Chains A and B, each alone.
Chain A
Amino acid sequence: GIQVEQSPPDLILQEGANSTLRCNFSDSVNNLQWFHQNPWGQLINLFYIPSGTKQNGRLSATTVATERYSLLYISSSQTTDSGVYFCAVVEGNAGNMLTFGGGTRLMVKP
């Protein structure tokens, strides 16, 4: 099956800093989603981005499908950005079964 790797695994930022999270995947994908999991366990949809670039406020994401990676940018980080960020993909012939990366655990300090 497809392999999904996220980096870095852990990240500590000072409030106001910018960061880039990376997701590499081993095969072609039909679907790629970025999620933020808050401390209560809720997975919050950030982006549905199998290719191209999208922006939503302080967050933006870019997926380069031909090179099999996606990037999530967080600008002017806030303490409420803390949590785990997951990248999840659907392999080309896997219906709509999401395979998750290991996540990036982000802590933003005031």
Chain B
Amino acid sequence: DTEVTQTPKHLVMGMTNKKSLKCEQHMGHRAMYWYKQKAKKPPELMFVYSYEKLSINESVPSRFSPECPNSSLLNLHLHALQPEDSALYLCASSHIPGQGWASGRAGTYEQYFGPGTRLTVT
């Protein structure tokens, strides 16, 4: 099973709302990622979690707050967003280079993406 799921598929929120995006995977991956994709642009990395700890924050504004409650789940909490934050938010997962039994296998570090949440901020 190479599936990453994301909920909700679509989200419309006002600038004063608080909402959360959810991501789940059951592939035994210990790295999980949030990407943001604006229309007609490639995805851009926001956050990386390794072994449930935040390892990379690509200078993302504090109105985006990630959380990794366990090895299968990744959340992105949203608060006081701006209209320019409207985008497709993609979650991905992968093994971590050198991770246990997975190291050395072909395709070990391949990232798998969820279907995304299309967010509109009004």
Contact = CB atoms under 8 A, between A and B. Distances in A.
A43 B96 contact: no
Contact of B113 (A31, A42, A48): A42
B45 A96 contact: no
Interface string A11-39: 00000000000000000001101010000
A41 interface: yes
A100 interface: yes
A83 interface: no
B96 A45 contact: no
Given A41-B88, A42-B116, A98 B111 contact: yes
A95 B48 CA distance: 10
Interface residues of A, number: 22
A31 B112 contact: no
A98 B42 CA distance: 11
Interface string A49-86: 00000000000000000000000000000000000001
Given A41-B115, A42-B115, A100 B56 contact: no
Interface residues of B, number: 29
A33 B107 CA distance: 10
A42 B90 CA distance: 9
Interface in B108-122: 109-113, 115-116, 118
Contacts of A43: 43, 90, 113
Contact of B97 (A40, A96, A100): A96
Contacts of A98: 33, 43, 45, 92, 111
Interface string B8-40: 000000000000000000000001010001000
A102 B92 CA distance: 19
Interface in B66-113: 88, 90, 92, 94, 96-97, 106-107, 109-113
Interface of A: 30-31, 33, 35, 40-43, 45, 48, 86, 88, 90, 95-103
6 contacts: A35-B113, A41-B115, A90-B109, A95-B56, A97-B48, A97-B56
